Each structure stands twice: as C-alpha cells, then as structure tokens.
Amino acid sequence: MAARLEEDRHPIPLNSLVLGYGAVLPCVVAALGVWLMGGPWPILATRLAIIWSAIVLVFIAGVRRGYGFGNPAASTTAEISTMLIYVALAGLSLLASEVGAFKGALALLTAGFILAAVLDRRAALGQNAPRHFARLRGPQLSIASAALAGILAYQASH
C-alpha cells in the first residue's frame, strides 16, 4: 500500500507519456501486420519488430545508466548492472535474428521488456530511476511484450 501511495505522488510527465507509449506503437503495428497481411509482410514485420524492439531496449538501458550517473542518490552499480542486462538481451536478440532464429529473438526481447517493467518500477521506488517510471513502465512495456508475444505466436503457428 505504501508503494502505491508513493507512486501516486509522481505524475507521469507528458513527454514521457508521448515518447514512452509512442516508442511501443511500432511493435503493435508490426504484430497487426504479421497477422493481417500476406506475402512477404509477416517476415518483414517480424524482422522490423525485432530491430525496433532491440533499439527501444537499448534506449531504456541508456536512460537507466544516464540517470544513475547523473543522480548522486542512485546506485551506480545497480544502474550499470541493469544497463548491461538490457543491452545483452537486445544484442543477443539481434544475433538470433541474423541467423534466422526469430522465435528466440522475440523471446529474448519479450523477456527484456518484462524484466525492464519489473526492474524499472523497483528502481523508481528506490530512487534509482525517475519516480514516474513506477507508473509508466508496467503498462508501457506490457503493450510491447504483448505485441511481441503475438508475433511469437504467429511464428510458432507458421
């Protein structure tokens, strides 16, 4: 209950809402494209979703690292560790995609987004990330995770 009260005191800035949710919309569009379009589009949409999602996960890693270095109250060790995990998952997903292991790439990115949702919320409550991340990251990255899971389901069924 105390964590929820703490979250409510930190509204999400408009730019974080627009850029945060805007960044995951291409994942949703790709998922729709995979399921609704024929021909070469499912593979193209899958590849683009993997690339875009890896970029977003690396960006999230950079935000965490930058916040950790710029805020004396933040744990530099926690920020560097988190950043390395996010970057490693994104990089491994790109390597998997390059060798045609799309399901593996999508699973890595989905795991990365779920992990970021959990870790960024926890970090926000512990002053290791912007406070509004406690409210933003869960819904934002749930959308991305659901979209990638939808693409993964398509890949598994075809």
Written as one letter, the residue type at 72 is: P
Structurally, how many domains does the chain consist of? 1
Stated length of the chain: 158
Question: Does the residue 137 lie in any domain?
Answer: yes
Instruction: Tell me what the mean pLDDT of segment 31-36 comes to.
Output: 97
Helices (H) and strands (E) in the chain, counts: 6, 0
Question: Does the residue 36 lie in any domain?
Answer: yes
Tokens matching residue 82 = 């988190």
**Would you say 108 and 95 are in contact if contact means Cβ atoms under 8 Å apart?**
no
pLDDT at 6 over 60: no
**Would you say 31 and 150 are in contact if contact means Cβ atoms under 8 Å apart?**
yes
pLDDT band at 4 (very low <50, low <70, confident <90, very high): low
Question: Does the residue 3 lie in any domain?
Answer: no
- pLDDT value at residue 75: 80
Question: Does the residue 46 lie in any domain?
Answer: yes
| Distance in angstroms (rounded) separating the CA atoms of residues 32 and 128 | 35
Q: Find the domain containing 119 and state its range.
A: 13-157
pLDDT band at 8 (very low <50, low <70, confident <90, very high): low
- pLDDT value at residue 40: 95
User: What does the mean pLDDT of the chain come to?
Assistant: 92
- pLDDT value at residue 5: 46
Question: Does the residue 6 lie in any domain?
Answer: no
Question: Does the residue 143 lie in any domain?
Answer: yes
| Distance in angstroms (rounded) separating the CA atoms of residues 75 and 81 | 10
Chain position carrying tokens 């790109």: 94
pLDDT at 15 over 80: yes
Each residue of 103-154: pLDDT tens digit? 999 999 999 999 999 999 999 998 888 999 999 999 999 999 999 999 999 9
- pLDDT value at residue 153: 97
pLDDT at 7 over 70: no
> For the chain, what percent of residues have pLDDT higher than 90?
78
Question: Does the residue 39 lie in any domain?
Answer: yes
Question: Does the residue 17 lie in any domain?
Answer: yes
Each residue of 70-92: pLDDT tens digit? 888 778 888 899 999 999 999 99
